[in-house]
A and B are shown apart, each in its own frame.
Chain A
Amino acid sequence: GAGVSQSPSNKVTEKGKDVELRCDPISGHTALYWYRQRLGQGLEFLIYFQGNSAPDKSGLPSDRFSAERTGESVSTLTIQRTQQEDSAVYLCASSSAGGEVYNEQFFGPGTRLTVL
């Protein structure tokens, strides 16, 4: 079946512009995660959705970052007034459930964001 998809695959924007990144999880997966991978660094957790609620937003770096999710479907990560330090690959992952019971997270290919 289809895996996690993300769009766009690449985004180049100018400093100060807003960007929206989209994630389509695997159908039926209730848990959705956003991570960020900056050049030469590991992956940083940003936000976790269970259904359309976000019980853990602790990784969002600033109030310029926000995310929403429609039901158990698409999620959008929005970055307002982009800064050069926002340049990174943004990865989305989904799993059949979050929380105590482990379920494998399946990752999308990522969106490479470049802020000029």
Chain B
Amino acid sequence: AQSVTQLGSHVSVSEGALVLLRCNYSSSVPPYLFWYVQYPNQGLQLLLKYTSAATLVKGINGFEAEFKKSETSFHLTKPSAHMSDAAEYFCAVSDRSTGKLIFGQGTTLQVKP
């Protein structure tokens, strides 16, 4: 069975600081991995995805993530946080037969001025 673990339910950074949100996965097959963002009172939006091409994936709003098979990780980073990045972030792995997403518990990112 596939699963995703997000380390840290709440992360707080200062504006301009590095953002690092951690995600580890478990999968018996090469995974498809995703990061979604959910702004307050809005739906989920895809930030970026890994589908077995380049291991460093760039997404929207300056975010990127690196797939590390040896560490079974797919951590999300952004060099400089902006106030507008405050949101909840979900890491997910896709079931290869149905496409259904298996989500982590989510990480709330707070950005302090």
Residues of A within 8 A of B (CB): 4, 31, 33, 35, 41-45, 48, 55-56, 59, 91, 93, 95, 97-100, 102-105, 107-110
Contacts and interface: CB of A to CB of B under 8 A. Distances in A.
Interface of B: 32, 36, 42-46, 49, 51, 90, 92, 94, 96-106
Contacts, number: 64
A25 to B, nearest CB: 13
Given A42-B105, A42-B106, A43-B90, A48 B100 contact: yes
B93 to A, nearest CB: 11
Nearest to A56: B98
Contacts of B92: 43
Contacts of A43: 44, 90, 92, 101, 103
Contacts of B102: 45
Contact of B105 (A31, A41, A95, A103): A41
B90 A98 contact: no
Nearest to B96: A100
B8 to A, nearest CB: 13
